Amino acid sequence: MRRKITLSFMGVIIISTLLILVLTFLAMYFFVFSKNNVVSDYPPNFTLSFNLYIENNNNAVTVSKEGQKLLKERDAWIQILDTNGNEIYELFKPEDAPSHYAPVEIVHAHMYPDTINGYTLFIASSTTDKSLNYIIGFPSSEISKHSFDYDSSTVTLIIKFTLMVLVISFIVFLLMGFIFGGKLTNPIVRIIEGVELLSEKKYWFQYEEKGLYSKVFASLNKLADNLKLSEREREKTEKLRAEWISNISHDLNTPLSSIKGYSEILSESDYNITTEEIKNYSNIILEKANYMEEMIEELLLNEKLKHNAVKLNKTKGNLTKFLRKIVIDILNHPNYSGRSVEFNSEAEIIQYNFDKSLMTRCIENLIYNA
């Protein structure tokens, strides 16, 4: 997973770097290197390309119908001049436009706006006939000229370039961060939601195990299944425990009834009880009391085991000798003297660490139940 995340971050960095380089190059090309970044409808370009509509038939210079239409659409006019600056053709020319231009007037008209009242002039030479120049005037209300002085020093260019790179970098990293951030954070949000559901004991979810965090989703699914199984086992254990406690309560009532009954007989003065009967009744009461004590100890032991409160006192001993002694003690008990218990061991010495008290209770209960 660490490798996948690392590769993803590296991929984002590489893609972002490439995008920055490409966008920077395009920006430099269009805004720095490209000097002709205007459409053909731009007045200077319109003027330069208008020579396509100038016709010269038998020394008669005219403008084609398509050219006349273009001029009319733009409220423009045209003058065609010879090499001496004399007008040899005009169309839509205003009244105050001169019919002859000195060279200095042509330069002045080309550089400054509104040289003819209400019009901005653009001047070009015919590419088909080098002896012809033409002037196209556009309304100053729509087209004007402005001169700007700027410092093109190295420091200025560096500042402009740096600002451009920073702006492009910011946009690229913002975009890539949004895309990759969603890819990275959305699964994390789902993982957090899964953990919250587990903490609330809600194990019904099942995530699709795919993507960058497929192993995490697989682990969450497995954990949910295990906790669901554990919850079922716990409920089953609680049910058995409740039944077991109910059975113990019922089992305690039987010896308690005997103890109560014989006690009432012993305490009743109206009965003529012999010494032998007193001894016999007392033994029964003692036996029933010992039985109840054992059951209560079993109940207490169960509660301790449930809360991990039992402290084991392990000592090393011979397990074979220990088990044999338990069997002998049981057979020596008057209630079990008539029972047949066989004890066989393949080894006379088996060294083992165990709690003798708890092990005694375990083996005795096992044999008694058998």
pLDDT at 206: 78
- Secondary structure class of 86 (helix, strand, coil): strand
In this predicted structure, what is the pLDDT of residue 321?
A: 93
pLDDT at 31: 56
Tell me the pLDDT tens digit for each residue of 286-297. 888 887 887 787
pLDDT surpasses 60 at 151: no
More confident site: 296 or 334: 296
More confident residue, 92 or 155: 92
Rounding to the nearest 10 degrees, give the CA dihedral for residues 272, 275, 277, 278: 90
pLDDT score, position 66: 92
Q: Residue 218: left (phi > 0), alpha (psi -120 to 50), or beta?
A: alpha
Domains of the chain and CATH, by start: 2-36+151-188 (no CATH), 43-139 (3.30.450), 312-370 (no CATH)
Predicted pLDDT of residue 39: 39
Tell me the Ramachandran region of residue 355: left when phi exceeds 0, alpha when psi lies from -120 to 50, beta otherwise: beta
How much is the pLDDT for 315? 92
pLDDT digits (tens, 9 = 90+) for 160-202: 777 777 777 778 777 766 776 666 667 777 778 888 887 887 7
